[in-house]
Amino acid sequence: MVLTHIFKFRIFYEPTHSFFVYRYKSYNMKITANMANNFIEKQYNNIIKSPNDKREYRGLLLNNKMKVLLISDATTDKSAAALNVNIGYLSEPDDLLGLAHFCEHMLFLGTEKYPEKNDYNKYLSQNGGSYNASTHMDHTLYYFDVHAEKLRGALDRFAQFFIAPLFTEALTDLELNAIHLECEKNIANDTWRLDQLEKSSADPNHPFSRFATGNKETLDIIPKQKGINVREKLLEFHNKFYSSNIMALCVLGKENLNELEKMVVELFSQVKNKEIPVPTWPKHPFNEQHFQHKWYIVPIKDIRSLYIIFPIPDLREHYKSAPAHYISHLLGHEGEGSLLSLLKAKGWCNSLGSGKRLGARGFSFFVVFVDLTEEGIQHIDDIVLLTFQYINMLKRNGPIEWIYNEYKDVANINFRFKEKSYPCDYVSGLAQILYDYPIEDILIVEHLFLQWKPDLIKCIMEFLKPENVRIHIVGKLFENISDETEKWYGVKFKKEKISPDIINKWINAGLNPDLKLPPKNEFIPEKFDIKPIGDKTSKFPVIIEDTSLIRLWFKQDEEFLIPKANLFLDFVSPLAYLDPLSYNLTYIFVLLFRDALNEFAYAADIVGLKWELTNSKYGMTLGIVGYDDKQRVLLDKIIDKMLNFKVDRKRFAIWKENYSRSLKNYKAEQPYQHAVYYLAVLLSEQIWMKDELLNALSYLTVEKVENFIPQFLSKIHMECLIHGNMTMSEAIETARLIESKLSNAIPHIIPLLSRQLILHREIKLEDGCHFLFEVQTKYHSSSCTQIYCQTGLQSTESNMLLELLAQILSEPCFTTLRTKEQLGYIVFSGVRRTNGAQGLRIIVQSDRHPKYVEQRIHTFLNSMLQNISSMTEEEFSAHKESLAIRRLEKPKQMTTLSSIFWNEIVSQQYNFDRANIEVAYLRTITKDQILEFYKNILQNDIQRKLSVHVISTLKDQNSNNSNNEKAVESNKNTEQSNEINNTIEYKKIDDILSFKISQNLYSLPKPFTDVPRKGVHSSKL
């Protein structure tokens, strides 16, 4: 696999009221179409785009030197914009770590033109929009999307961030708390921990080595000790670096290019050009003293990984030839003769990836990542040796043009049939690269390989040598040898110089006869014709084959018109979830099957023909998506392999151990993930818990798996959806081929009865009860509170009442609990749906005790009753329209539409036109209906409520706290105890099973359309 790797800081929040104003000069500027040219230095109208792309593009260089890309899409239902400021945390001062990230947060807290605390977020929320921002090493990205009719208002508010932000003094301390909570959230996250250790191990004089997120220590305690005014430094940072000449803006709207141009010129010409140079860092953060070392790193979770890291230069100027792609394409290959195949054969790894990892302007990295087995972590030097042997093979052969031509041709095909992205994703991706590449080529960067430059490939290969290597090995077994601790995340590690003997062994690695270049790819599609549309076309999938063994749904594509097809195939069996062992047998088979087929199927994967086999409570699901030309070849191989599968004992042991670790590692997940998990456990009719699955692993053997597979396949019903560039006759032929292969290989298949294909149901909470389930976590300093208000079965009416209520609550919930009360960095409110039932839930991950947080949530929920009562009809209608916009957003890609169809099929609801039907009802809802619906949720005697409290014990166990820290924590706990008013009456759940058997079950929702039950129908008695 080819790796791309970017770390960023993300912020989901909204502004609060401002008191002290830092004054920027802002003015309203009205520009006519003719006047717009006076603010434009250059226009670009020859932007290269995909033949399948019907949008129109125009590039601009404004007089203030801002680069702009305009995208006109008359059919879009969402507009979007992104602005990238080419300054990141590498440019912040040494004595204020996290200042760039803090500046990103503060920009949302009101502007001179729109000073209200939540104007930006409220406007987007009421107009079907969303927003976010992220801070990187050398750039900071801001972006949003909104209803296509509301772009002008959103863009005006957005532009003010860069023209006249308030930087409210009174809110600086408040938002600093959000920064700190964001940092705390990541303290036990291994990805963040490993990233920071890599930074901390670099040249301390290089800004790459800094701690970038920031926390109270770096942005409050230390600055106060040094007499630094953080707010003044924030203003100074923004005033110095937020300059139009290093900004890049991308805007997508339904307006034509001239209208978009006028809008952008009017709003963004006001951004001041401070004429600052874009900073670059030509000196690499790693030098000779950092090479030829190993870092033995202790993770939080039980994971085992190897990172082989080389320094390489910034290659952005070589985007047309992309020399590093040639190397990563081969070094990360997974087919026959690959490094991965040899490592798997030796039992040393499960997966491998390689690729260029962007640093900042001036430097990059090339990384080989290996997921290690128990045996593999004992053979680090051997794995590195094999890696250098593969690199030597590449060097000996030299760059080979047919390999370049092959991946170039695949890229050309993918670009030719490139589908739309969602507007927000599209503009944010383009804005990040817009500054660094010619505007004319901006759509082909990283998509096309236009130049064959073998000398450049050779040049990059020369960086991949033992003299330049850094080795990071991650594993729990290093806990006893670790002798250092990283400052910011507390990562334990041991640094060791690699002996000259080992380095010389790698230098003289030579060649390995088992490592070979990949063969030519037989899966590259050759036929791209769009199949003729049949006479019996329908707007939605229809059943065209229905036997006791298989039901086939079919929909020929008439919308996207690309040479691709999507196939989903459910293998439903009552054996899949019979008991924990049965689930484990199904799961381990899926792991082993994917592992065994990977070498063959990787060739299909890299040309865009992708497959996946997953398991569920009901069995297994096979998905194949991509070009239809060679899809049958892949399907034949998958089915044949499944029917004749032999378990590899060595791989079985490896994957069983891997599965065991994954079950154990769940305890280290975020508290909010535990809250979500336990709610599912409490409310599902049938669910095996992770400790039950773990206990059942001791009974899992090779023999049991080999016996289980034919048993599973002998008691199944298959349901299939084929959607895309395929005719009805081809679809029927495909289904019959599957059925025939199965019937021939498994002679005594027992078709399932209809009642064996009924879905699981949901626990119905007792009326008038508020249940509480508590669980502890020792891995995170934060706790989590989840409140779930169950509302009933899904139906058109109840779905829209619940979704509209969630829409109304969403923005004030975030503003109140996250921004104003600062209860936690993670605050979520929304709809929960499962097993046909649904309800409203609120999740807050906080350093406060869950009982206190729950009180604040209840106070908020009760206050919203008055809020809704006093809401004007105009405001109420705006919420309805915002929800309608979101629900009616058209799928941008065929796989998205296929997934919508498939979800209706597997849920057995069959409401394929759900969005239009439900929105039609939504528009009839009155405020009185919503009030009545909401009152029923809150009313004590009829409420059905369940709270899950995940309580952190980490601080109680942390014996390393200083006495002062303990005293502060003790005082804080005392304050919280005083704040907790135990007025909420709970029914405490002490035993999950006892609770579940004491409750009733919901019925299943009735199918929207009258579809015959699948499977064998028993005679009526």
Distance CA 56, CA 698 (A): 60
- Residue 624: what are its φ and ψ, rounded to 5°? -130, 120
CA distance 952 to 670: 11
The 10 Å CB-count burial string (b at 16+, else e) for 146-163 is bbbebbbebbbbbbbbbb
Task: Quote the CA–CA distance of 718 and 619 in Å, as a whole number.
Answer: 10
**Encoded tokens for 813:** 């919930």
Degrees, nearest 5: CA angle 368-609-561 = 135
Residue 181 makes CB contacts below 8 A (sequence gap 6+) with 782, 822, 824, 825, 846, 847
Q: Coil, helix or strand for 157?
A: helix
- Which helix H or strand E contains 787, and what residues bound it? strand 783-793
C-alpha pair distances (Å), 907 with each of 32, 175, 1002, 1007: 53, 43, 15, 9
Q: Measured between alpha carbons, how far is 84 from 141 in angstroms, rounded to an integer? A: 4
Burial classification of residue 543, based on how many CB atoms lie within 10 Å of its CB (0-12 exposed, 13-18 middle, 19 or more buried): middle
The SS3 assignment for 56 reads strand
The percent helix, strand, coil of the chain (3-state, each to 5) is: 45, 20, 35
985 carries an active-site annotation: no
Rounded Cα distance between 5 and 191, Å, is: 11
Active-site hit among 14, 41, 56, 104? 104
User: Cα–Cα distance between 279 and 90 in angstroms, integer?
Assistant: 9
Number of C-beta neighbours around residue 864 at 10 A: 19
Task: State whether the Cα torsion 663-669-674-680 is positive or negative.
Answer: negative
The answer to whether residues 378 and 477 touch, using CB atoms and an 8 Å cutoff, is no
Type of residue at 171: L
Query: Residue 108 corresponds to which tokens in the numbers above?
Result: 């949302």
500-507 and 380-397 helices, crossing angle to 10°: 30
Coil, helix or strand at residue 369:
strand
**Dihedral sign of CA atoms 61, 62, 64, 69 in order:** negative
φ, ψ for residue 130, nearest 5 deg: -155, 170
Name the DSSP letter for residue 293. Answer: E
Q: What is the DSSP letter of 111?
A: B
Distances, alpha carbon 596 to alpha carbons 345, 585, 601, in Å? 11, 16, 10
Q: How many other C-beta atoms lie within 10 A of the C-beta of residue 962?
A: 8
Residues 88 and 279: their CA atoms lie apart, in Å, by 10
* Cβ-Cβ contacts under 8 Å for 288 (sequence gap 6 or more): none
Residue 187, amino acid: I
Residues 6+ apart with CB under 8 A from 834: 680, 683, 684, 762
CA distance 386 to 343: 8
Contact 946, 765 (CB under 8 A): yes
Residue 985 to residues 554, 768, 842, 855, 934: CA-CA distances in angstroms?
52, 11, 18, 11, 20
**The residue to which tokens 């002798």 are assigned:** 483
Report how far apart, in Å, the C-alpha atoms of 989 and of each of 591, 604, 887 are.
35, 50, 37
Residue numbers annotated as active site:
104
